[in-house]
A and B are shown apart, each in its own frame.
Chain A
């Protein structure tokens, strides 16, 4: 665990020296601000619910870009050889990488705390859905970044990692729609698989353990697979 923390620490500081991270953060905040303004202007409602729902679409693209470098770059530049020959277990490498990406996602969300502040200045927002909404978007970030970590383990090429990641996140986001074609018995299954189903509850202020367990299990599964992919490099 201490090793995972060491790796996460290094990775997080690498984010702050990477132009990609700054560009993505700037882009994200511009779009978030734009959504916040227009949603508020037209709805006249002191809520962040619609903002969170819209931000998920952006996050589907942002997360894979944030995570594309994690393992792909180490494999390309050969620094992976340092990590895999240090007395560190493979899962610690993967966990550390993902944790750093998640920490950077929290940093990106920090400026958005201004929005609830504005809402409370000029209105009377219901705080509970705002808090659960943040919980939801943080968890969703964790899930998408874990999937991105997995695709980053698969290749040495960051662009390939990002494109694969975006494909995978979009697929998991939209898979609920497959239920509509699959007939009633399977529809529930596809609904459950889809990332989106579990998100909308949280932005409404409903905390259901089913949703939390779903998100956590996707994170664990993706990181587990990423570890296996990393291990498989040793056998080739």
Chain B
């Protein structure tokens, strides 16, 4: 469109101190191998990650510990974005966490398949965001 194309190559690196606020406890627990959810005292719904108000009735929820295990509901295999860290592979899945009514999007290691049982196996390497600890591993069949 321009008569004389003019372009310039720019680099703009940004540094943040990102506050995780109310979500911080969940991520800290994940890094320690635990899973925190929330239960609604009104309707009984239990969800993970925890949220302040129930998605069904907006009642204030209370935190609950959940078993760090579940079952793969759906999975997809593809290249993670450039933000990903670690060697957890290329599988992301919706995991039906035991005791929760919803599913959690998480990275999966091991021989993933729909219906496979998985357990929380937090990434231990260097991460740039605590969400990168959130990895489930396929539980070996006995």
State yes or no: do A and B come from one complex.
Answer: no
